[in-house]
Structure formats: structure tokens, C-alpha cells
Structure 1
């Protein structure tokens, strides 16, 4: 079973990397970009066979290590 975790800064948290990308895109002629938020994607290969237990385990991983829940939000996809 595979899990994909998308981690992004919360909306109220300043994203200097995203702002740098937006600024660079503007200099490259892409003037239609009003904002950029940058995040990360983590893919996990799991041995679990039950989707519900796999999601619960990945949620625990996110809460303990994969995301800083003070400033980041995350979503989980199980496939």
C-alpha cells in the first residue's frame, strides 16, 4: 500500500520560498502569478493492507515527525 502526504505551510504563515519563486517567475515574464505557496510531498511504501489503519498510522507519523503542525498543515492520500 502507498501513502502520499502533502505538507504545506498554513495560510497565515509567511512563505519566503514561495515569494522568491513568485518574484523569479515575474522576472521571467510570467506576470499572471499573484502568489506561490511551496510545500513538500512525501511518499511512503507501507506494509499495511487495511486502508483505515494505514491512514491512522500515517497520521501519527505526520503528527510526530513529517509535519510541524504548529506552522504546517497536511493531507494524506492512501492508494
Structure 2
């Protein structure tokens, strides 16, 4: 069994209105040292794969086909074996 932790974020060239709103709120709370905020998502997926390589191939395909929009988002993932 493998657990994949997937991180999806907007590309740097894409405006992040949610991040801008959070940055403004942090500034209004006195955290004026905050220079930028980017919002993303973290997903955990359990896979019953025979090998780490197979699990990584499956996660890559999931990200490309469904979990991330390649036009505006980047993704990264970590795969670890779990008991």
C-alpha cells in the first residue's frame, strides 16, 4: 500500500485572487511583513499498487487527467509506502 501526497498550485503567471484577499487580511491584522500569498490544495490518495514505480505512474496520470488543470496549475507529489 502506498500513500501519495499531491500538491496543486496555480502557476506563477496566473492571478490568485484568493491569495490576494488573504494577503490583505493578514496585512489588516498587522502581519505587514507578508509579501505574497498563493493558495493551493493538498490531496492524499491511498493506492494498492504492486510497486512504488507503479504508484508514481498512476499518480502522475491522475494529476494530468483530473486533479490538476495543466493550463493554469502545477502539481508535485510524494509517494511513500504505508503499512
Shorter-chain TM-score range:
over 0.9
Deviation track 1:36-79 (CA, whole Å, cap 9, x = no partner) reads: 00000010011013111101100100011000010000001001
Structure 2: which 5+ runs fail to align? none
Match in the other structure for 2:34: 33
Structure 1: which 5+ runs fail to align? none
How big is the alpha-carbon RMSD for the aligned residues of Structure 1 and Structure 2? Answer: 0.6
Q: Give the TM-score, by structure 1 length.
A: 0.97
The total of aligned residue pairs comes to: 79
Q: Give the TM-score, by structure 2 length.
A: 0.93
Alignment partners' CA distance in 2, 1:49 and 1:8: 29
